[in-house]
Structure 1
Amino acid sequence: MKRADIKRRPLSDTVLANLEPELKEYRELDGEGLYFRVKPDGKKAWLFRYKKADGKWSWLGIGTYPELSGKGARKKASEIILDISHGDNPIITKQERKRQELDHHNATFDVLAREWLETKVNTWVHDTMTRNKGALEKHVFPVFGKRLYTSIKPIEWMNHLKGIQQKQGIYEQVSRVRAMCRDIYDYAKVTGRIDYNPLEGIQKHLQQGKKENMAHVSEAELPTLIRAINNYPTMDVRMGLQLLAMLFCRPTELRGAKWDEFDLEQGLWNIPEERMKKRREHVVPLPKQALAHVKDGVAGVYNKAQYLQGRASMMQWYADHLEELANMKVI
């Protein structure tokens, strides 16, 4: 659904679910300072716009969609408006509510971990967030998720992480999970909820996996590999492997590439910041061979209007072929 198709406000559930992303982030007013934000990658969230005491306007994030529905967002917006009418700073009020929710005596580890994950939204790319959140949900939450985070002892953490290593043999992933859990407790520590981190010092007592060199191709084997890639029968796979070999990019960057990121006239690939690990736009110069592959890929897209001539020839050939079949000239 396009923005121009919106007929009324507040935004209906159908509109919220079907609003399409555009090349640039945009916000749609829902009502009384509440806005619905849609990012180019399709992520949606609720924002509240308010005027600070110094007269300057500011934005306050109040939740992501669909986790927070339209009804829930409007309720939160009403609470913020009430806070402002009482002279309260909505940011401080929001932080205080979170602190109350994460009180020492009733906060579970999964609640603390999910709050910590929220602090990484603007620094982690989508794939990193998905991978790390999934690791916590698989290896930590089933055991410690509903425990009070202040009640989990260092020996419990060490035994649990050692158990995963022994049963599954995933040393690198266990190391990453341990590092995340340590950071989660560091977050609780600097926000005044705990005085010590139960995961400090555990790393040196965990078994270390064997370090192996990354799989690689020797210089002598490289010609054979390049020829194999060039002769691969599937066009999109072949082109992807050829571009990876030339451009030294991450596979996820290439897999998520869109046609409008390629400037064929300038010979550049402009990767937007939201797809980069370090959240900075990255420009990749395209050598002539890579540029030729990209142009071939664009030309192979069936419904592009600028390639009507080639499409017309193909359609004419097929129509002639059907006519020959009808006249029994082809058996």
Structure 2
Amino acid sequence: MRPELMPKVIRKLTDLEIKKAKPGETKQDGKGLMLVVDAKGNKRWVLRYMRPDGRRNMIGLGSYIEVSAAAARAEAAEIRGRLRNGIDPVDYRKAEKLEKQTAIRGTFKAIAEEWYSHKAKGWAKETTRKAREILDYSLLPKLSIKSVADIASADVKPVLLEIHERAPMLAVKARQYCGQIISYAIQEGLREDGRELSLKGVLPKSAKGHYAAVTKSSDLPPVIKAIEGIESIYSKVALKVCLYTASRPGVVAGMRWNELNLDTREWHVPASRMKLGNDHITPLPNQLIPMLKDLKALTGDSPFVFPGLSDPMNKHINRDSLSKVLRENGLRNVVVTHGFRATLRTIARERLRIHPDVLEAQLSHAKKGDVQKAYDRTQFLEERQELIQRWADYIDALKNDEIVVPLFKKSR
């Protein structure tokens, strides 16, 4: 073969040639590996290569001081091996970086906590409370150790369906939060761009309308008897608190011993736990006092009246578990815990002739006019004490199959 037609052989650089390389020079080491010297004399290794899609590209392998010629050649050989398998070294390096970041703060729990702290700064207190409950009781128990870089829609779907089984509306909010958490992970560089969760349509369609509730006194006895038959003392008493006081189930689930005055039969709920952000006093009927005293002997040092089984010192029962108990005891589609509020408002108005303002004050609803807001500051406490006791007596009479003749006493 004529010399001019023979392929050009590039000899590998010697250490002496590398050290003598001058500013502005580019020296070939073979197979695309080059030593590039900038204007200041800094030397770095660069590998030219052909991407799997046919485009030319280059990637830096480090400075000569930090990476020896032998190390640069070894890394270049590894890159060529990946290229033969269709792996672009730039994409590979990004994936490696993502994996290292994920190892530090990339579990679903870690990024969910970051997302929560970020979002809570602009949330109202009630939104913050609900989001915290959804994380602690619905999402983190099943998803906390999952890698946020790898978690898939198929991992999240069964969790959402489980939530939907006990609380359909809560499942919708949980789905929204999952999407936001993953979007936050992408923004933080912990998950690849474009890898959003595909959760649209994973939840069954639920009939729109009000909470399931009993609004006829004739339908109450089966509900009362079902509650009486519940084995768990905590669930039974919690549901009776919901039924007797018509308090929001989340507020009942988080009831603390330091909020109760059993001597005066009053429950002082702090503003931080109320939807409207106002302190609220809820009267307690005589029927609840011995039940609560019995619970006090069982809860020990827990600050909660209804402590969680796994961590009684720091967690209380989940409000949605109460509706689950109702379903398990034959009341599916009949009533949910929040529905007891409609029960009081409807039946106490119709059968006990309680004034609407007194009922609204007991339910801690927002008022529209300035006059009503002024009345709210008094909280109708005396009238509500009478209301709650009459309501509890009415319920007991229904439970005992007694003939109830409502005392149509005009409320003050």
TM-score, structure 2 as length reference:
0.32
TM-score, structure 1 as length reference:
0.38
Higher relative contact order (CA 8 A, sep 6+): 2
Which of the two has higher C-alpha Rg? 2
